Amino acid sequence: MSSETDDLSTHSASVSAHEELRRRVAEVDAIYRIADTIARATTLDELLTEAIDALLTATGADRAAVLLVDEDGVMRFRAWRGLSDAYRAGAEGHSPWAPDAADPEPVLVSRLAEAGFDADLERLVRAERIEALAFVPLVHGGRLLGKFMLYHDRPHEWSEGDVLLSHTIANLLASATIRTRAQEALSASSHQLATIMRTVDEGIVVQSQTGGLVYSNDAAARFVGFSTTAAFLAASRPDVLAQFEILDEQHQPLPPEDLPGRRALRGEASEQIVCYRIRATGEERWSVVRANPVYDASGSPVLSVSVIRDITATKAAEQRLRFLARASELLNETLDYEQTLARIAEMAVPMLAGQVVIDLLDDDGSIRCVGAAHFDPEKSDYLRDLRRRYPPTAADHPVQRAIRTGEHVFLADVQAHADEMAHDAAHAAEIRTLANTSGIVVPLIARGRTLGTIQLGTIDPQPRFNDADVELAIELARRASLALDNARLYRAAQARAHAAEALEFVDDGVFLLDGDGLVRLWNPAAAQAFRVKSAKALGRPIGELIHGWEMLQGRIPVATRPTGNARRPQTVPVDVKGEERWLSISAVSFPGGTVYAFRDLTEERAVEQLKTDFVATVSHELRTPLAAIYGAALTLQRDDIRLEESQRDGLLGIVASESDRLARIVNDILWASRLDSGQMGVAIESCNAAKLARQVVEPLRSHAPDHVTLAVEAPDDLPPVAADPDKLRQVLTNLIDNGVKYSPDGGRVLVDLSHTGNCIRFRIEDQGLGVPPAEQDRIFEKFFRLDPNLTLGVGGTGLGLYICRELVDRMHGRIWVVSDGRRGSTFFVDLPVAA
């Protein structure tokens, strides 16, 4: 075409006019073509390519290009014809106008040499064999969008027509570029929006005023059980609604017109928690639905946009937490855990499971069902009965497996395991009627001890258990175990508290040492025996409390069971603060330590000792008078010796006095045994105390050694005493006899009677050996003698004062002694004045 143009200048005017017309037509055609292209083109690239073709045809240029300013403000080739890669790469970015040029004009170059390009650009253009160029700006709204370029291979005089056409096309192109760009951006953003809507977790539903669905994203479709949006949109609304029961947060039916989407159509924005219970499965889906109205130009709502957020998982977690919290509360409320476990079983159905059975493991290893609940309430009793008839003892029963391993057991298909759980075919058949689908058994374990199991089962249409359910079951078991253990510990602690309380009152000493030999229990009897208070003993090493414990320990037999032959107490001497005490002690060890129990036998041992001494003394006491009597009798019997009268009387006197002594000893023993056997009766009457005292003293005076004198002093107006005269005589006899006996160096024994208060006081005072204050109580004990080994040569049975005290007691009186232990003793007897 360019050669034709060159030829034109030499043609005739008519030809020129004709040619001119043809050009005009071509121009108009080009404009139409471009306008049409612009109208049809949907993408910018398509538009620009079409525009290049139209430009070339309309202008007769050899080559053309369109460049647009990109985001970085650089002019870049977007469409072209006949340009090399090298040229485009070199020329890109070049612009004859400043980027912010207010009204850029086309730049027309007829000859390259005259263009005034810089050397690089000129070289580049020349290399591309371009001779003439036109730069036509694309301007829209006063902003430079880019340019289109026309090129001629030869020098070209750009005509005014060329310039006009270029302008027109440029304008069209610029506005089309803007529009197409906007369209592209819009479609890109709506595409993005659709993608976002498709991928968001929130369900989005748009409803029209008639209630029909205008739009739904995939999440919303999935939420109501459709696999695609298309299927959801195609479904009829009543059909969709019929699949669900719609409930509010409190599980109460929610009328469809109260749903937020419907309320938005009435112009009300709202948010609401909605529960969709799928009728077919019973499954519940929870969501927060938030809806807003969309208004038309007149301000009335035409659409509602609902955003549905699925909170089923949160709700389920919440429900689980609430269940766990409630279960914990129940468990902690009472120590009657069996009843509580039964309630928990009931509570768990149907929220967590269709069937729950809780078994406890008894100490003897047997399994006892304490709670059972079934989705069908009528089957709960049946379940318990079945458990009784067929306890879960089959080796492969999941309950047994859980007990054995201490781990939870999950059964994805319970029915597949029915046979291994069953004892026999009939049992297996019954398991099938319970219709559990999936199952979980969790062991109840506390401090390493398996206490039982919780067994959960699902029943159609409940969904089968998943990992979250297993976790929940484990958590429930953990809490139940804790409560069970607490209750058991509490009971044990209570039992121990009772035991400890009982130990407070037993006479036997009991102390408990832990594994480290520290005292953990120390009862009052122990405190008394070792003279260490409980508060001081607790927590201390036993070695610090009992002198010589190391050695002692070796002598105490320790049994491992409380009842066993090994537990024979050992009697050992213990030094308690310098005093020897005899303890009969035994011990039992248990996992937490050793319990020692002992009885203080010091007193009993002393009595034993006294008894031994008594036998020795009595035999001595009996032997001495007997020997004297025997000796006297033999002498009297002898024919070979002639005895003087006085000698005979002396010997007979010995026989008489020694017999008397014998009689008194025997008498004491008889009195004592009568007192012991409780056969001693007292007949209290009003007696003349002075007369009675004198009657006692008289015969004693005759037996008394010469250097001991006896005297009775009594006021004349002494009132009568209330006493049993025989018993009172015995008391006075013993006391006066002792006064004489324990005055080996002689002296006076005075019996002084007086009236003090409501009593008649008998005071028997001697000047003899005295009684040390420490022993003044003990001398009234049975068999007790200050001088058991007779070192002082005074014999006795140790019964006399004992008899006195017993008799005075029975006559409602009081007896005691006053002595400094060195010189003389004074015995007092107070008896009531006779009424």
Q: Closest approach of Cβ 820 to ligand ADP, in Å?
A: 12
Q: Closest approach of Cβ 799 to ligand ADP, in Å?
A: 6
Q: Closest approach of Cβ 592 to ligand ADP, in Å?
A: 50
- Encode 362-401 in three state secondary structure: CCCCCEEEEEEEECCHHHHHHHHHHHHHCCCCCCCCHHHH
Both tokens of residue 615? 């036998």
Q: Closest approach of Cβ 670 to ligand ADP, in Å?
A: 14
Element containing residue 621 per DSSP (H, E):
helix 602-637
Instruction: Report the alpha-carbon distance of residue 435 to residue 460 in Å, rounded.
Output: 8
Q: Closer to ligand ADP by CB, 275 or 700: give it.
A: 700
Q: Can you say how many angstroms the Cα of residue 581 is from the centroid of all Cα atoms in its chain?
A: 49
Radius of gyration of the chain from Cα atoms?
63
Both tokens of residue 5? 């143009």
Q: Closer to ligand ADP by CB, 563 or 789: give it.
A: 789
Q: Closer to ligand ADP by CB, 106 or 798: give it.
A: 798
Contact 356, 456 (CB under 8 A): yes
Q: Closest approach of Cβ 834 to ligand ADP, in Å?
A: 27
Q: Which amino acid is at 358?
A: I
Q: Closer to ligand ADP by CB, 27 or 621: give it.
A: 621
Q: Closer to ligand ADP by CB, 375 or 742: give it.
A: 742
Q: Closest approach of Cβ 737 to ligand ADP, in Å?
A: 8
Determine whether 793 is exposed, middle or buried from the number of CB atoms within 10 Å of its CB (0-12, 13-18, 19+).
exposed
Question: Which residues face 216 on adjacent strands?
Answer: 205
Task: Give the chain's length.
Answer: 835
**Closest by Cα among 549, 548, 565, 566 to 557:** 566
Q: Can you say how many angstroms the Cα of residue 211 is from the centroid of all Cα atoms in its chain?
A: 53
Q: Closer to ligand ADP by CB, 224 or 799: give it.
A: 799
Burial pattern 454-488, b for ≥16 Cβ within 10 A else e, equals bbbbbbeebeebeeebbebbbbbbebbbbbbbbbb
CA dihedral of 376, 377, 379, 382, whole degrees rounded to 10: 170
Sign of torsion over alpha carbons 213, 219, 222, 224: negative
702-705, long-range: CB < 8 A, 24+ apart: 703/657, 703/660, 704/740, 704/749, 705/740, 705/746
Q: Closest approach of Cβ 645 to ligand ADP, in Å?
A: 35
Q: Closest approach of Cβ 526 to ligand ADP, in Å?
A: 33
CA distances for 44 relative to 47, 68, 78, 181, 186, angstroms: 5, 11, 9, 6, 13
Question: Which residues face 596 on adjacent strands?
Answer: 511, 587
Instruction: Report the alpha-carbon distance of residue 107 to residue 96 in Å, rounded.
Output: 8
Q: Closer to ligand ADP by CB, 293 or 798: give it.
A: 798
Cβ-proximal residue to ligand ADP, closest one = 796
Q: Closer to ligand ADP by CB, 337 or 827: give it.
A: 827
Q: Taking the CB of residue 581, how many other CB atoms lie within 10 A of it?
A: 19
C-alpha angle 211-199-305 in degrees, rounded to nearest 5: 25
Q: Closest approach of Cβ 582 to ligand ADP, in Å?
A: 23
The 3-state DSSP class for residue 830 equals strand
170-174, long-range: CB < 8 A, 24+ apart: 170/106, 170/136, 170/137, 170/138, 170/139, 171/139, 172/31, 172/34, 172/35, 172/38, 173/34, 173/38, 173/47, 173/48, 173/51, 173/66, 173/138, 173/148, 174/138, 174/139, 174/140, 174/145
Q: Closest approach of Cβ 747 to ligand ADP, in Å?
A: 11
Instruction: Report the alpha-carbon distance of residue 797 to residue 804 in Å, rounded.
Output: 13
Q: Closest approach of Cβ 616 to ligand ADP, in Å?
A: 12
Determine whether 800 is exposed, middle or buried from the number of CB atoms within 10 Å of its CB (0-12, 13-18, 19+).
buried
Q: Taking the CB of residue 120, how many other CB atoms lie within 10 A of it?
A: 10
Contact 69, 145 (CB under 8 A): yes
Q: Closest approach of Cβ 632 to ligand ADP, in Å?
A: 24
Determine whether 331 is exposed, middle or buried from the number of CB atoms within 10 Å of its CB (0-12, 13-18, 19+).
buried
Q: Closer to ligand ADP by CB, 443 or 795: give it.
A: 795
Q: Closest approach of Cβ 625 to ligand ADP, in Å?
A: 14
Q: Closer to ligand ADP by CB, 335 or 786: give it.
A: 786
Q: Closest approach of Cβ 715 to ligand ADP, in Å?
A: 24
Determine whether 152 is exposed, middle or buried from the number of CB atoms within 10 Å of its CB (0-12, 13-18, 19+).
buried
Q: Closest approach of Cβ 665 to ligand ADP, in Å?
A: 8
CA distances for 32 relative to 27, 37, 176, 294, 548, angstroms: 9, 8, 14, 42, 127
Q: Closer to ligand ADP by CB, 150 or 771: give it.
A: 771
Q: Closer to ligand ADP by CB, 646 or 789: give it.
A: 789
The 3-state DSSP class for residue 84 equals coil
Residue 693 region, left (φ>0) first, then alpha (ψ -120 to 50), else beta? alpha
Q: Closer to ligand ADP by CB, 526 or 771: give it.
A: 771
Q: Closer to ligand ADP by CB, 173 or 771: give it.
A: 771
Instruction: Report the alpha-carbon distance of residue 320 to residue 797 in Å, rounded.
Output: 87
Q: Closer to ligand ADP by CB, 367 or 749: give it.
A: 749
Both tokens of residue 62? 């050899």
Q: Closest approach of Cβ 672 to ligand ADP, in Å?
A: 10
Q: Closer to ligand ADP by CB, 106 or 768: give it.
A: 768
Q: Closest approach of Cβ 734 to ligand ADP, in Å?
A: 6
Q: Closer to ligand ADP by CB, 244 or 784: give it.
A: 784
Q: Closer to ligand ADP by CB, 453 or 738: give it.
A: 738
Interface positions with ligand ADP (CB under 6 A): 734, 738-739, 742, 766, 768-771, 779, 784-787, 796-802, 825
Q: Closest approach of Cβ 828 to ligand ADP, in Å?
A: 12
